[in-house]
Structure 1
Amino acid sequence: MRFRKKSLFILLALLAIFELLLRFGFGFCNAPLYIEDPDFEYIFAPNQYRFRFRNVVKTNEFSLRSEPINPADTTVVLLVGDSVINGGNPTDHDDLASTILEKKLTQHYKQTIRVLNVSAGSWGPDNAFAFLKKKGLFGADVMCLVTSSHDAYDNMSHHKIVGVNPNYPEKQYKVALYEFWHRYIYNLFIYHYVEVPLKEWLSPATQSAPNDVIHKFGTTFNAGYQQLADTTKALGIPFFMYLHPELSEIDQNQYDSQGKEILDFARKNHIFVIDELKINQKDHSLTRDLFRSPEFDSIHYNAKGQAYMAKHLYPVLKQYLDAYFSKHARTHRP
């Protein structure tokens, strides 16, 4: 009996230590939360400051992964896209390309240059356009759309995912141990590698898509590309794109058919594109995929990748901003 009590006490103590470690060491029960929107589907909830997986994830009053908007922000760059620029939980605020660019451009011009991060995980260009149409362009002087091949037909579906998809929570877990089990052990491993194969084997006709992936089955080229191009042209805002390939495209040194459609769209609309395939010499160290396997992340940048993207965006943005300051004859130019 004494041995059982001692064993139970040790077990409870270990669970308590693990609970505290998950909470205060890795930010469990402190995930960035999402809100729904009838126009652009979903986005991070506004005014958040989260410590998650040892990274700071914060949003401003407009749900952007940027510092708060200030009325004195007279020069604004919009960096628009999906999880590639949003970064999600694995990317610290200071490591984001938008944060790096904002600091570097502000230092160069010796005045505040805002680089606003307009993004959400799995957004298509139509999501981004719908957000900007609803919230405004924030006085943008330059806009860059960061896109990838899979965005070409990634059209809005307005299926409910906030609070349903475990990657898009609307409220916090109350117990870190349960979050660790349910969101990461069960959903990432048991569900995928045990439950789904078993259901497919027993009843393949009734098996639905896994619930941790957003599936948008578009049949037409995403309208957001044209909407963003037409709107910026009408308002006289310089607009260009950054085309980011997946590892498989880097290995083959060519985009898939959808990536080629994006390049064709850009050529037809006279839109400048930073084509990463032309500058990336098969560098796999820029993404989170350490094992070069399709089962791991083959598209999202790590901190080194965010800095890489910022490095190649900087001279293009500087060129547009130099022209902007020249046109407006700013006397405090460097």
Structure 2
Amino acid sequence: MRSANFAAEKPAGEFRVMVFGDSVLNGGNLTDHGKLATTLVADRLAAAKGRPVAVGNISAGSWGPGNWLAYAREFGFFDADVVLLLISSHDIGDNPTFAPLDPNTHPQKQPLSALAEGIGRYLPRYLPAWASGPTKVAVVDPMAQPIVTNDDQAVAQGGEDLRTFLDLARSQVPRVLVVQFPDHTEFGAGGLQPGYELVKSIAQESGVEVISVFPEMKAALDRGANPYRDNIHINDLGQAILADAFFDALAGREVTRKVDN
């Protein structure tokens, strides 16, 4: 997880949230840990509730419903009080390919040191540009881009995995939330992608609460403050907007209903 360590078994009195997502939630290497929505909301919830809070950030670049489902089946939900899923329209067709992972976008082991990672992972990427002359070198976040597809079979598989994930979460966790996140292009002439309504309908059919941050992102854009780094990923402002949405959804009611086994 991209979050602070916490005990596998939840201590008495702790409020625990597991947040699932993809590269938007993960933030990539251009987002400092302290600026992540999950970090921000953990600090605010602890202050608001007056008790310990643990927020897990379960995410990776190009993850979709199949990845979230596989993770939950292997590791469970860590006795969470709430499971929150951050999902975009394109995620519904972003299925695992089981191809070998690129170590530049999905490292498989911890580097020996920051210097070793800089030399081995980043220097080869920027050296050609430096060698060619004093031109500006773009700062690139190597977070993998999602596989955006309109293939009916891919969408059907993603939809089935999403239903299964939500049903599994509801069977083990008192409260499950879906937070829909728009791509930057969805504010243009084309409007929301078809996957947006599909995700919403699947969540509602599964009895899961659905929240959209579309209004908050649009409000930022309308006032001239761009919360996006590119078409999909967000900057520190975007993370802060997500943190506000998470806090509003989580700071209120406590759920104490018995979870069906």
The answer as to 2:125 corresponding to 1:183 is yes
Match of 1:309 in 2: 242
Contact 1:253 1:277 in 2 (8 A): no
Match of 2:206 in 1: 269
Query: Is the partner of 1:90 in helix, strand or coil?
Result: coil
Q: How does 1:64-83 map to 2 (within 5 A)?
A: 64-70=1-7, 71=9, 72=11, 74-83=14-23
Match of 2:84 in 1: 144
* 1:277 alignment partner AA: F
Query: Is the partner of 2:18 in helix, strand or coil?
Result: strand
Match of 1:60 in 2: none
The answer as to 2:156 corresponding to 1:220 is yes
The answer as to 2:160 corresponding to 1:230 is no
Candidates 58, 67, 76, aligned match of 1:127 = 67
Q: Cα distance 1:186–1:128, how it changes in 2: closer, same or farther (>3 A)? A: farther
* 1:137 alignment partner AA: F
Candidates 187, 191, 194, aligned match of 1:254 = 191
Candidates 129, 153, 160, aligned match of 2:100 = 160
Q: How does 1:22-101 map to 2 (within 5 A)?
A: 64-70=1-7, 71=9, 72=11, 74-101=14-41
Residues in 1 aligned to 2:180 and 2:4: alpha-carbon distance in whole angstroms: 26
Residues in 1 aligned to 2:66 and 2:27: alpha-carbon distance in whole angstroms: 19
Contact 1:254 1:277 in 2 (8 A): no
Residues 74-121 of structure 1: per-residue CA shift (max 9 Å, x gap)? 321111111111111011111111111111111111110111111111
* 1:299 alignment partner AA: I
Contact 1:146 1:242 in 2 (8 A): yes
Contact 2:18 2:84 in 1 (8 A): yes
Q: Cα distance 1:185–1:147, how it changes in 2: closer, same or farther (>3 A)? A: farther
Q: Cα distance 1:307–1:213, how it changes in 2: closer, same or farther (>3 A)? A: closer
The CA deviation at 1:314 is 0.9
* 2:66 alignment partner AA: D
The CA deviation at 1:319 is 2.7
Residues in 2 aligned to 1:235 and 1:178: alpha-carbon distance in whole angstroms: 42
Q: Cα distance 1:282–1:315, how it changes in 2: closer, same or farther (>3 A)? A: closer
Contact 2:175 2:255 in 1 (8 A): no
* 1:183 alignment partner AA: R
Aligned length: 230
Percent identical among aligned pairs is 26
Unaligned runs of 5+ in 2: 133-143
Q: Cα distance 1:229–1:308, how it changes in 2: closer, same or farther (>3 A)? A: same
Unaligned runs of 5+ in 1: 1-63, 191-211, 290-296, 329-334
The answer as to 2:27 corresponding to 1:106 is no
Residues 246-302 of structure 1: per-residue CA shift (max 9 Å, x gap)? 11102348311122211222233332211122343353434343xxxxxxx222121
User: With CA pairs under 8 Å and 6+ residues apart, which has the higher RCO, 1 or 2?
Assistant: 2
Q: Cα distance 1:93–1:323, how it changes in 2: closer, same or farther (>3 A)? A: same
Match of 1:242 in 2: 179
Contact 1:78 1:118 in 2 (8 A): yes
Of 65-74 and 142-151, more deviation after overlay is shown by 65-74
The CA deviation at 1:213 is 4.8
Q: Cα distance 1:214–1:161, how it changes in 2: closer, same or farther (>3 A)? A: farther
Query: Is the partner of 1:130 in helix, strand or coil?
Result: helix
Residues in 2 aligned to 1:298 and 1:271: alpha-carbon distance in whole angstroms: 27
Q: Cα distance 1:179–1:127, how it changes in 2: closer, same or farther (>3 A)? A: closer
Contact 1:287 1:298 in 2 (8 A): no
Residues in 2 aligned to 1:260 and 1:150: alpha-carbon distance in whole angstroms: 11
